[in-house]
């Protein structure tokens, strides 16, 4: 039986640009990225031990949105973060 | 501090929390009227569990305050952006704890579950034995296994476990 993916964040918080955005620096790609509050919260959850289903449940419970919608939104955010090199999977 | 809201009832309340002691009156207010609480970050969990619709850090900007009020007034919920990650982390950890407890319960046999539920309600060994038509020594054996499987060490911990997993509810059962 396959287990839900467990994303792990990459990069470090460089500084808060303003109240709603935070700069994340990723050394591997030498990239500096601005994340809004939601993306930052998801990035912070990616500790390599929390799987996607746990994240979906927490988001749904906190916001009141349906599980399916929470999973869709989370998937999009994680895909974006992965594309930026800020999240990885497997042994990171 | 007493709060006289007068008449008619407000549509929304902005509560500026000073200090760490949350006013008892706030609890009933939050249940009845959408409330935005302005408080130090470390009160986030307490305020959210109270049921407030919005939480804003004490050092938030005026723009953020306006955004919180508008969001809650429109029927939504608001938390200061930088606290969202912390809130999600707490939810994950709490849910994980509940899942682990439920997994332990699933390890009990049917008879052990019966004994566990009766013991958690405060029923003594002899009445449990009489109710289940088994000996007192057998009840003790079952209880020992229950304690081991649930990883509890005292009766108080067993009751707390039953509460956590919602096997018992508040009140006294006769």
| pLDDT-above-70 percentage for chain B | 90
With CB atoms and an 8 Å threshold, state whether A62 touches B82.
no
The closest CB to that of A54, out of B61, B85, B96, belongs to: B96
Q: Which residues, other chains included, contact B145 with Cβ-Cβ below 8 Å and sequence gap of 6+?
A: B112
Chain A residues whose beta carbon lies within 8 Å of the beta carbon of residue B67: none
Q: What is the DSSP letter of A47?
A: B
Q: What band does B40 get if pLDDT is binned at 50, 70 and 90?
A: confident
CB B58 within 8 Å of CB B65: no
Chain A residues whose beta carbon lies within 8 Å of the beta carbon of residue B92: 45, 50, 54-55, 57-58
ipTM: 0.84
Strand order in the sheet with A12-18: A12-18, A21-26, A31-36
pTM over 0.90: no
Has residue A63 got a pLDDT over 90? no
B130-171 residue pLDDT tens:
999 999 999 999 999 999 999 999 888 898 888 778 777 655
Has residue A92 got a pLDDT over 50? no
Q: What band does B173 get if pLDDT is binned at 50, 70 and 90?
A: very low
With CB atoms and an 8 Å threshold, state whether A45 touches B63.
no
The tokens for B36 are: 């935005």
**So what's the pLDDT on residue B28?**
79
């Amino acid at each position: 039986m396959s287990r839900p993916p467990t994303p792990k964040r990459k990069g470090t918080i460089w500084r808060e640009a303003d109240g709603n955005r935070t700069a994340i620096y990723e050394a591997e790609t030498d990239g500096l990225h601005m994340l809004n509050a939601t993306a930052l919260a998801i990035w912070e959850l990616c500790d390599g031990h929390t799987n996607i289903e746990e994240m979906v449940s927490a988001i749904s419970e906190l916001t009141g949105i349906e599980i399916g919608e929470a999973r869709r939104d989370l998937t999009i955010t994680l895909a974006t973060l992965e594309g930026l090199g800020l999240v990885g999977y497997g042994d990171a | 501090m007493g709060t006289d809201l007068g008449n008619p009832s407000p549509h929304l309340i902005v509560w500026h929390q000073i200090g760490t002691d949350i006013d008892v009156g706030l609890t009933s207010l939050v249940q009845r009227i959408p409330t935005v609480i302005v408080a130090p970050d470390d009160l986030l969990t307490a305020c959210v569990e109270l049921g407030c619709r919005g939480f804003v850090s004490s050092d938030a900007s005026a723009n953020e305050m306006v955004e919180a009020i508008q969001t809650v007034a429109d029927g939504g919920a608001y938390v200061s952006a930088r606290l969202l990650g912390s809130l999600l982390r707490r939810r994950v950890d709490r849910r994980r704890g509940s899942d682990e407890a439920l997994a332990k319960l699933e390890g009990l046999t049917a008879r052990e579950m019966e004994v566990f539920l009766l013991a958690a309600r405060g029923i003594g060994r002899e009445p449990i034995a009489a109710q289940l038509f088994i000996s007192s020594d057998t009840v003790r054996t079952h209880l020992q296994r229950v304690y081991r499987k649930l990883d509890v060490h005292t009766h108080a911990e067993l009751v707390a476990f039953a509460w956590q997993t919602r096997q018992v509810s508040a009140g006294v059962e006769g």
